[in-house]
Amino acid sequence: MFGLVARIEVRGAERLPERGAYVLAPNHHSEIDPLIVALATWRIGRAPRFLAKESLFRIPVVGWLLHRAGMVPVARSRGAAAQAIAQATKLAEDQSGVIVYPEGTLTRDPDLWPMRGKSGAARLALAGGIPLIPMAHWGAQDLMPRYGKLSVLPPRKRITVAIGEPVDLADLTGRTDQAAIQTATERLMAAITALLEDLRGETAPPERWDPSQHGQTETGKL
C-alpha cells in the first residue's frame, strides 16, 4: 500500500547480509522514517526489527505483536553494557538483525543533516562483534516533513535509500570501553553523513549539530 504514495529506490542492497546478525543504523529526519526503513529492509529480504522501549511490551495486544514481530526490548532501568551484551547474544543466536537509530530521535539540525550520535548502535555492535551497517535515505521530508503532516499529493514521491559498507571496527574488536564506543559512534555517523551527502549532492556542515549547544531538548518538538 505504501507503494501507492511513494517510490522507494534502494541502493547498495547487496551490502545488507543475506543471513546472520547485523546492526543497521539509519538517519532520522521524519516520523515516517521507520516505515520507509522497514519496507526497504523487507524488500532486500530481511525482517525489519527495531529496538523498542520495554514498557511497550507490557501493553496488551501491542506487546504480543511486538514479540511476534521480533522487536528487541530496551530496558532503561538496566545497565547499558549488560543490556547490550544480552541483546547482542540474542541476535547472534537468532541470526537476526536489528535497526537502531543512532541519533535517538529526529535530527535537530535545521537542514536535516545527521546530528550528534548516541552510543546504542555502536555499543551493540561491539558487544557482539556484529556488523555495523550505515544507512541513509532522502525524500521522506517531502512525504511527511519533520513534525509535519502526511502529504500524499502529488502521489508516488521519490525516496532514495542507500546502504553503505559495514563500518570498520577491526581495531576495536573485543573492546567495550567508553573510548572505543565513542570512536565507533563517530565512524558510524561519518559513514551515514557521507551516504546522505551523495544522495543530496551536497556537502554536510563540518560539525554535526549538538542540541545541547543550541538550548534544545533531546526529544519533543523544536
DSSP state of 49: -
What is the number of structural domains in the chain? 1
Question: What values do phi and psi take at 205, rounded to 5?
Answer: -60, 150
Is 220 part of a structural domain of the chain?
no
Where in the sequence is the domain holding 19, given as residue range(s)? 2-214
Q: Helix (H) and strand (E) counts for the chain?
A: 6, 7
Mean pLDDT, consecutive 10-residue stretches, the chain (222 aa), reads 85 95 95 92 91 80 82 68 76 87 92 94 91 97 90 88 97 91 97 98 96 80 67
Is residue 67 situated within a structural domain? yes
* Residue 138 belongs to domain with CATH number: 3.40.1130
Name all contacts of 37-40 with Cβ < 8 Å and 24+ positions apart.
37/99, 37/135, 37/137, 37/161, 38/99, 39/2, 39/8, 40/8, 40/10, 40/135, 40/137, 40/161
In a domain, 150, yes or no: yes
168 domain-assigned: yes
- For residue 79, what pLDDT is reported? 66
Closest C-alpha to 194, from 203, 207, 183: 203
Instruction: Report the DSSP beta bridge partners of residue 157.
Output: 6
Inside any domain, residue 219? no
Instruction: Please indicate, yes or no, if residue 7 is contained in any of the structural domains.
Output: yes
Can you give the pTM of this predicted structure? 0.91
With respect to residue 22, please indicate whether it lies within any of the assigned structural domains: yes
First to last CA, the chain: 31
Q: Is residue 83 part of a domain?
A: yes
Q: Give the span between the Cα atoms of 181 and 165, in whole angstroms.
A: 19
C-alpha cell at position 170: 577491526
pLDDT tens per residue across span 41-68: 999 999 898 877 777 788 888 888 888 8
